[in-house]
């Protein structure tokens, strides 16, 4: 087989083929023969994502309810029969602060052994909601909530105490 060449065109229009430098022909290349390599223990593949968390480190963050927002809400009072407007405003404050799930019971407390910080934050949020509820209710309702520490239970207790009162209070006003 002839060596590979390239053609060069001179300025006068003639071509001069020139051989390429050190180009081996296929017949001149020795066949590849795999050789045995000494056995080397394989190293574990590096974890490229070790510094990046694959899930959120804390599933529940602590929230804070503004006292100024709460102070704008009238106290819940059976004599005023204001459950509907009061509960809507309170739920709005909880919703804005991403805490509404505590009152509905849809946010469960994380396992303290698996997520201690999330469980602590859940406890803080739960306590904060109960405190917010107690802050915006009448003295009679505060007595009802004295032994209640859960936000969901406190909310359902207040709802059952006041929601039933609606139609009866309307009749009594007539």
The pLDDT tens digits of the residues spanning 50-60 come to: 444 445 567 89
Sequence-distant (6+) residues with CB within 8 A of 32 are none
Kindly tell me if the per-residue pLDDT of 158 is higher than 60: yes
**How many Cα atoms are found within 13 Å in the side-chain-facing hemisphere of 28?**
7
The two structure tokens encoding residue 64 = 């804070």
Report pLDDT for 164.
74
pLDDT given at position 105: 93
- For 78-93, write each residue's pLDDT tens digit: 989 999 999 999 999 9
120 has pLDDT over 90: yes
d(C-alpha 152, C-alpha 98), whole Å: 15
Q: Compute the residue count for the chain.
A: 174
- Report pTM: 0.63
CA angle 64/149/158 to nearest 5° reads 90
Give the range among 36-50, 79-93, 132-146 with minimum mean pLDDT.
36-50
DSSP state of 137: B
Cα–Cα distance measured from residue 61 to residue 86, given in angstroms and rounded to the nearest whole number: 26
Percent of the chain having pLDDT more than 70? 61
| The pLDDT value given to residue 59 | 86
């Amino acid at each position: 087989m002839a060596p590979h060449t390239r053609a060069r065109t001179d300025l006068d229009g003639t071509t001069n083929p020139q051989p390429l430098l050190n180009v081996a022909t296929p017949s001149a290349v020795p066949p590849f023969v795999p050789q045995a390599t000494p056995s080397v223990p394989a190293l574990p593949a590096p974890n490229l994502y070790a510094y990046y968390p694959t899930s959120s480190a804390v599933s529940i963050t602590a929230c804070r309810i503004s006292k100024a927002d709460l102070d704008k809400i009238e106290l819940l009072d059976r004599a005023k029969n204001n459950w509907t407007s009061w509960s809507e405003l309170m739920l709005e404050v909880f919703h804005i602060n991403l805490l509404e799930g505590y009152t509905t019971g849809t946010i469960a407390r994380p396992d303290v052994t698996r997520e201690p910080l999330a469980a602590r934050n859940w406890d803080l949020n739960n306590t904060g909601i109960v405190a917010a509820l107690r802050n915006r209710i009448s003295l009679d309702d505060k007595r009802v909530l004295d032994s209640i520490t859960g936000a969901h239970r406190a909310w359902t207790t207040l709802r059952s105490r006041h929601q039933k009162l609606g139609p009866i209070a309307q009749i009594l006003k007539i």
